[in-house]
Amino acid sequence: METKIREFRQEKGLTQQELADEAGVTRQTINALENARYNPSLLLAFKITKILDKDSIEEVFIIDEGSLE
């Protein structure tokens, strides 16, 4: 799953560690999310979306329609 976490995090001036602290996860988790190596739980996706001041999860997390089949 691709994400726009890095882009939106940098827009807000947050480091990976700062975002991780606010979301209650490790910096490594944020790194894995930014590099599409980890799919978050719905709760984590929601938390990150709110921390990044976005209105919908779909703004931050891009689901590859092919992977849903």
Q: pLDDT tens-digit profile of 6-44?
A: 999 999 999 999 999 999 999 999 999 999 999 999 999
Q: Binning pLDDT at 50, 70 and 90, where does residue 1 land? A: confident
Q: Is 6 exposed, middle or buried (0-12, 13-18, 19+ CB in 10 A)?
A: middle
Domains in the chain, number: 1
Query: Which CATH number does the domain housing residue 14 bear?
Result: 1.10.260.40
pTM across the whole model = 0.89
- Please give the residue range of the domain that contains residue 7: 2-68
Residue 37: half-sphere exposure toward Cβ, Cα within 13 Å:
7
Q: Calculate the CA 65 to chain-centre distance.
A: 18
The mean pLDDT value for 54-66 works out to 89
Residue 66: the pLDDT is 66
